[in-house]
Structure 1
Amino acid sequence: MLRLEQVSVRYGATLGVDRITLEVQEGELVVLIGANGAGKSTTLRAISGLEPLAGGSIHFDGHRISGAMPAQIIDRGIAHCPEGRRVFPQLTVRENLEMGGYRRTDRQRMRQDMERMFDKFPRLRERAGQAAGTLSGGEQQMLAIARALMSRPRLVMFDEPSLGLAPNFVEMIFALVQEVRREGTTVLMVEQNAYAALQMCNRAYLLTNGRIVSQGTGAEMLANEGVRAAYLGG
């Protein structure tokens, strides 16, 4: 479904991503793990068209999307739930969800999808008219996920969905990510909780200094001594 071929992203003289090649098959949950600054978020931003490539190519469903504008990539069926949630704080919960579907023209189905999001996230229904900036961190993460799903993506990318959340919300968010995949949406996820991510994923890539240094199934990566020593506490 998604393939990155020798992709590089440059920040001035520094390569944030250095000639990485990876793929995501339809229906998979694939995770990127690695230390802060390894290039994980930059990879997602490159796929979304938010970072220009210094080299390589990105294809989705056999069509080249590298060089496309972010709105065009959304139209292709890729949604991005960014690190730090990035909700629109002055807009209401309902208005944030409407922004998630702003490219859609099927307004009736969009309203139906909003009701579906409220069914999936009852707390958001309770706070539909409330400014998003007044929600708790966990509630804002729910809103960010629901907003990404409002575009009816075929592939959704989650960037650090558990970051900064209380343990009860972390468990809830991971359950939601798995539910999204079970419902038929392919998932590519960056996650700092490597142990939890590897337990739930089909496959994983380990990035170090902008390069992929290891890859395998979740079980293989959990059993990898180098991965365990560096990221899983031995």
Structure 2
Amino acid sequence: MLRLEEVEVAYGRVAALRGISLEVREGELVSLIGANGAGKSTTLKTVSGLLKPAAGRVTWDGQPIAGLSPREILRRGIAHCPEGRRVFPHLSVRENLMMGALLRRDAAGIAQDLDAMYARFPRLQERAGQAAGTLSGGEQQMLAIARALMSRPRLVMFDEPSLGLAPALVQQVFEIVQEVRRQGLMVLMVEQNALAALGLCDRAYLLETGRVVRAGSGPALMASADVREAYLGGRAFAA
């Protein structure tokens, strides 16, 4: 469904992606792992239209999308849940959720999905009229996820969903990611917790300095000695 082929992206003269190729297939959860600065977040921003590639192809459902606006890419079914939550702090929780449905015109469906988000995240319903900026970090992450789902996407991209959260909340966020995938959506996830990312995914790509240096199933990458040494503290894990 989603395919990147030899994509190059630069910030000025600094190369961020150096010919990256990857794909997300129907029904898959794919993780991107790697050190800070490897190009993981840049990859997601390129897919969502926030960055334009200098070379290469990005296709979605067989159609080129590189160069399209973020609005048009969202309209085509790709939602981006960004690093740092990026909620609208002065808008209420409900208004933030409605922003996720901004491009939709089906009022009845929007109302139905809003009720579904409140059922899935009861804390958001409790704080529906509260300014989003006053929520805790965990609550803001729930809001960011729910806002992305309000667009009724086919692919959800999560950028560091566990960043800065307490351990109990981290587990809850990963359970939500799994639930999203079980509902039939495709997921592309950037996550610094490499062990959790590899344990959740169907396939993973290891990025270093803007290049894919290894790809395979989660268990295969966990079993790789160099991946264990660099990203899993040298420990071996059972598949």
TM-score (norm. length: structure 2)? 0.97
Query: Which residue of structure 2 aligns with residue 6 of structure 1?
Result: 6
Give the Cα separation in 2 of the matches to 1:21 and 1:52. 15
CA deviations 1:39-74 (Å, max 9, x no partner) are: 000000000000011100100001110111110000
Query: Which residue of structure 1 aligns with residue 109 of structure 2?
Result: 109
Q: Are 1:74 and 2:74 counterparts?
A: yes
Give the Cα separation in 2 of the matches to 1:204 and 1:98. 32
Give the Cα separation in 1 of the matches to 2:95 and 2:11. 34
Give the Cα separation in 2 of the matches to 1:232 and 1:164. 19
Give the Cα separation in 1 of the matches to 2:45 and 2:233. 29
Give the Cα separation in 1 of the matches to 2:217 and 2:89. 38
Give the Cα separation in 1 of the matches to 2:134 and 2:12. 37
1:126 to partner: Cα distance: 0.6
Q: Are 1:28 and 2:9 counterparts?
A: no
One-letter amino acid of the structure 1 residue matched with residue 94 of structure 2? R
One-letter amino acid of the structure 1 residue matched with residue 100 of structure 2? G
Unmatched tracts of structure 1, length 5 or more:
none
1:14 to partner: Cα distance: 1.2
* Structure 1 residue ranges, 4+ long, deviating more than 6 angstroms after superposition: none
Give the Cα separation in 1 of the matches to 2:54 and 2:217. 29
CA deviations 1:114-137 (Å, max 9, x no partner) are: 100000101101110110001000
Query: Which residue of structure 2 aligns with residue 19 of structure 1?
Result: 19
One-letter amino acid of the structure 2 residue matched with residue 156 of structure 1? V
Query: Which residue of structure 1 aligns with residue 126 of structure 2?
Result: 126
Q: What percentage of aligned pairs have identical amino acids?
A: 66
RMSD of Structure 2 on Structure 1 (CA):
0.5
Unmatched tracts of structure 2, length 5 or more:
235-239
Give the Cα separation in 2 of the matches to 1:103 and 1:60. 19
CA deviations 1:166-212 (Å, max 9, x no partner) are: 00100000000000000111000000000011001000000000000
Give the Cα separation in 1 of the matches to 2:70 and 2:196. 30
One-letter amino acid of the structure 1 residue matched with residue 22 of structure 2? L
One-letter amino acid of the structure 1 residue matched with residue 19 of structure 2? R
Query: Which residue of structure 1 aligns with residue 38 of structure 2?
Result: 38
Q: Are 1:83 and 2:83 counterparts?
A: yes
TM-score (norm. length: structure 1)? 0.99
The size of the alignment, in residue pairs, is: 234
Give the Cα separation in 1 of the matches to 2:134 and 2:188. 29
Give the Cα separation in 2 of the matches to 1:99 and 1:153. 14
Give the Cα separation in 2 of the matches to 1:169 and 1:124. 15
Give the Cα separation in 1 of the matches to 2:182 and 2:104. 24
